[in-house]
């Protein structure tokens, strides 16, 4: 199933095969020499497209119109439709996709790779082709790239070039009015991997949808971090049969099965297939970030990075694009957390449970969020019954109704700033979905 583990027979001293032991041996790839940073010669059309794209990105930042993370790449692609393919030549690129954790894991991958050589990344979260071009053209001679990619765009990327490593984190319902059902996304990922047979895939063995997408690929490392949100993984994505408890080593009658783990996330770190345990000393909180860090570490080791230097750089990350950051709003320190679908709300609610902080929730339903907020009824807000919660955002009333049905004491406020300004001493937690979170980050930087 994978290229990193094999079932093997023990051979006696005289060469005769002994009985199968079931022992799993780990195949260690040959050491990878550090990449050299060399100038990359681009054709004239690509060079002009990159130069004008950089100029557009710079003007966007100077005029306060945005970070330039998309407009520069969009202009470059317009002038040179093959810009992504041309800019990827000679690099080892890691693509990171999945419903939740893409931005954080991508930053972890980029930092781990920088322990060996320069790496570029689309740190602003612009995760479609124009964002990839914008990231790659910032340092055309950087030998590494870590790129977050939207789940439905991975097939477009692998049609352009073959990444060195592809990370498949998880799949759950998100923005159904744009993305569609999970089976559609899983099938798209499967097609994307079929277009990249030479890439190495690092995939979540605990998510049946990810297993379906990656099971037939010739080179896979399987990560096990457990599945807390199970409502989107109850049925086999191949045939539709009921799987039961996905914490067990499930096997469907159609043949799809939970593969053996190469890396297993523990309460303090990660256990490798050879039995060695590595501590994960992270600045980012929660089990979910130990899972993200394990994916990043596996990618970095695959590309020749040293274990200790990679872990050290991952451990120093304190926030990713504002996530988990402590910022000032209304003259107060607050901690910002992002939750955009039932699976990520589960993780963030678990993170704030029992800490006693004032809690503010903010939900919008704009285009980038998805207009449908019926998913609020799938979130286990009942865990907040002992907390007093304030709610804000475009859909504050919908959220308040859901919390009332969950038995949570709730107050609707006109804005997060109003709630924060009236809070007692301490650092409140603010959990917001995508556009609500983005707006708070922007206002905190003024």
DSSP per-residue letters across 256-269: -BPPPPSEEE-SSE
Q: Greatest CA separation found in the chain?
A: 80
- Average pLDDT value for residue range 355-369: 91
Residue carrying the six token digits 């859909």:
395
Output the DSSP codes for 383-432: GGTTS-EEEESTTHHHHHHHHHHTT--EEE-S-HHHHHHT--SS--EEEE
pLDDT at 436: 96
Q: Is residue 15 part of a domain?
A: no
Shared-domain flag, residues 286 and 414: no
pLDDT digits over 379-424, tens only?
999 999 989 999 999 999 999 999 999 999 999 999 999 999 988 8
CATH value at residue 407: 3.90.190.20
399 and 305, same domain (yes or no) = no
Band the pLDDT of 260: cuts 50, 70, 90: very high
Instruction: Return the sign of the alpha-carbon dihedral for residues 101, 103, 105, 106.
Output: positive
- Tell me what the mean pLDDT of segment 118-140 comes to: 91
Read off the pLDDT of residues 206-229 as tens digits, 9 standing for 90 and up. 999 999 999 999 999 999 998 888
What is the secondary structure of 200-255 as a DSSP string?
A: EEEEETT-HHHHHHHTT-SSEEEEE---S--TTSSB-TTT--B---TTS--B-TTS
Crossing angle of helices 307-315 and 287-302, rounded to 10°: 140
Count structural domains, the chain.
2
Q: What does pLDDT average to over the chain?
A: 87
Q: Are residues 289 and 152 in the same domain?
A: yes
Average pLDDT of the segment spanning 56-73? 83
Q: Are the beta carbons of 383 and 353 closer than 8 angstroms?
A: yes
Which one of 315, 342, 370 terminates a domain?
A: 315
Residues 269 and 340 in one domain: no
The answer to the question of residue 264 being in a domain is yes
Last residue of a domain, one of 315, 343, 373: 315
Band of pLDDT at residue 93, cut at 50, 70 and 90: very high
Q: Point out which residues pair with 412 in neighbouring strands.
A: 391
Q: Are 347 and 292 in contact (CB under 8 A)?
A: no
Query: Within this chain, do residues 333 and 280 fall inside the same structural domain, yes or no?
Result: no
Q: Is residue 390 part of a domain?
A: yes
15 SS3 class: coil
Q: What is the distance in angstroms between the CA of the first residue and the CA of the last residue of the chain? A: 51
346 half-sphere exposure, CB direction, 13 A CA radius:
17
For residue 28, pLDDT beyond 60: no
Whether residue 387 sits in one domain with residue 273: no
Pairing of β 119-121 and β 144-148: parallel
Give the dihedral sign, CA 206/210/212/218: negative
Is residue 6 one of the residues assigned to a domain? Answer: no
Rounded to a whole number of angstroms, the CA Rg of the chain reads 23
Contact 86, 42 (CB under 8 A): yes
Residue 321 lies in a domain: no
| Chosen domain end from 315, 336, 360 | 315
Q: What is the pLDDT of residue 235?
A: 87
Residue 210 near residue 201, CB atoms below 8 Å: no
Same-domain pairing of 277 and 394 = no
Residue 45, C-beta contacts closer than 8 angstroms, at least 6 positions apart: 79, 80
- The yes-or-no verdict on residue 38 having pLDDT over 60 is no
Output the six-digit token pair for 33.
């020499």
Alpha carbon dihedral 177, 180, 181, 184, in 10-degree steps, equals 180
Question: Whole-prediction pTM value?
Answer: 0.87
pLDDT for residue 177? 59
- pLDDT tens track for 283-341: 999 999 999 999 999 999 999 999 999 999 999 999 998 899 999 998 899 999 999 99
Q: Does a structural domain hold residue 10?
A: no
pLDDT at 70: 82
Query: Is 305 annotated among the ligand-binding residues?
Result: no
Residue among 374, 404, 379 at smallest CA distance from 389:
404
Check whether 19 has a pLDDT greater than 70: no
Residue 20 confidence class, pLDDT cut points 50, 70, 90: very low
Residue 2 covered by a domain: no
Task: Identify the domain containing residue 361 by its residue range.
Answer: 326-444
265 and 333 together in one domain: no
Please say if the pLDDT value at position 130 is more than 50: yes
- Residue 49 has φ and ψ, to the nearest 5°, of -60, -40
pLDDT tens profile 262-289: 999 999 999 988 889 999 999 999 999 9
Burial state string for 186-199 with b = 16 or more CB within 10 A and e = fewer than 16: bebbbebbebbeeb
User: Is the pLDDT reported for residue 426 higher than 50?
Assistant: yes
Q: Give the domain CATH number at 107.
A: 3.40.1190.10
Among 22-26, 100-104, 175-179, name the one with the lowest average pLDDT. Answer: 22-26
For the question of residue 206 being annotated catalytic, the response is: no
Annotated binding residue at 239? Answer: yes
Same domain, 121 and 172: yes
Based on the domain organization, do 260 and 340 belong to the same domain? no
Give the per-residue pLDDT at 429. 95
Please indicate, yes or no, whether residues 157 and 226 belong to a single structural domain of this protein. Answer: yes
- The pLDDT assigned to 229 comes to 83
Q: Is 310 in the same domain as 331?
A: no
Tokens representing residue 261 in the block: 């783990």
Distance CA(7)–CA(390), nearest Å, equals 55
Nearest to 223 by CA among 155, 122, 292, 274: 292
- In this structure, are residues 365 and 359 in contact, taking their beta carbons and an 8 Å threshold? no
Residue 120 within any structural domain of the chain: yes
Pick the more confident residue, 176 or 439.
Answer: 439
State how far the alpha carbon of 49 is from the alpha carbons of 72, 121, 345, in Å: 9, 19, 41
- The pLDDT score that the predictor gives to residue 422 is 85
Active-site residue among 177, 308, 372, 386? Answer: 372
């Amino acid at each position: 199933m994978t290229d990193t583990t094999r079932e093997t027979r023990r051979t006696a001293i005289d060469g005769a095969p002994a009985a199968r032991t079931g022992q799993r041996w780990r195949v260690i790839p040959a050491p990878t020499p550090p990449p050299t940073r060399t100038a990359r010669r681009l054709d004239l059309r690509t060079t002009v497209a990159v130069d004008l794209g950089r100029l557009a990105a710079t003007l966007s930042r100077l005029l306060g119109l945005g970070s330039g993370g998309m407009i520069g790449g969009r202009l470059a692609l317009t002038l040179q439709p093959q810009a992504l393919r041309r800019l990827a030549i000679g690099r080892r690129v890691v693509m990171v996709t999945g419903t939740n954790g893409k931005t954080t894991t991508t930053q972890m991958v980029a930092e781990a790779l920088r322990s060996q050589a320069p790496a570029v990344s689309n740190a602003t979260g612009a995760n479609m082709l124009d964002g990839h071009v914008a990231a790659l053209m910032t340092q055309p001679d950087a030998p590494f790239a870590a790129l977050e990619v939207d789940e439905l765009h991975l097939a477009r990327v692998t049609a352009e070039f073959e990444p060195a490593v592809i990370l498949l984190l998880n799949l759950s319902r998100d923005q159904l009015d744009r993305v569609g059902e999970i089976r559609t996304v899983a099938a798209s990922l499967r097609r994307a991997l079929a277009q990249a047979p030479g890439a190495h895939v690092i995939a979540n063995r605990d998510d049946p949808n990810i297993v379906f997408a990656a099971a037939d690929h010739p080179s896979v490392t399987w990560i096990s971090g457990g599945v807390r949100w199970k409502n989107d993984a109850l049925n086999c994505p191949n045939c539709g049969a009921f799987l039961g408890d996905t914490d067990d080593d499930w096997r469907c009658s159609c043949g799809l099965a939970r593969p053996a783990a190469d890396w297993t996330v523990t309460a303090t770190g990660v256990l490798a297939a050879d039995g060695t345990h590595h501590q994960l000393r992270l600045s980012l909180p929660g089990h979910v970030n130990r899972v993200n860090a394990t994916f990043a570490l596996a990618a970095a080791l695959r590309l020749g990075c040293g274990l200790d230097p990679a872990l050290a750089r991952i451990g120093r990350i304190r926030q990713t694009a504002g996530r988990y950051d402590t910022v000032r709003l209304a003259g107060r320190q607050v901690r910002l957390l992002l939750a955009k679908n039932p699976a990520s709300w589960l993780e963030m609610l678990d993170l704030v449970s029992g800490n006693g902080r004032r809690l503010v929730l903010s939900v919008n339903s704009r285009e980038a969020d998805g207009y449908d907020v019926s998913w609020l009824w799938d979130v286990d807000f009942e865990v907040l019954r002992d907390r007093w919660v304030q709610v804000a955002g475009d859909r504050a009333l919908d959220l308040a109704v859901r919390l009332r049905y969950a038995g949570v004491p709730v107050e609707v406020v006109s804005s997060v700033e109003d709630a924060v300004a009236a809070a007692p001493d301490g650092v409140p937690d603010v959990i917001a979905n995508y556009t609500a979170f983005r707006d708070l980050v922007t206002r905190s930087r003024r």
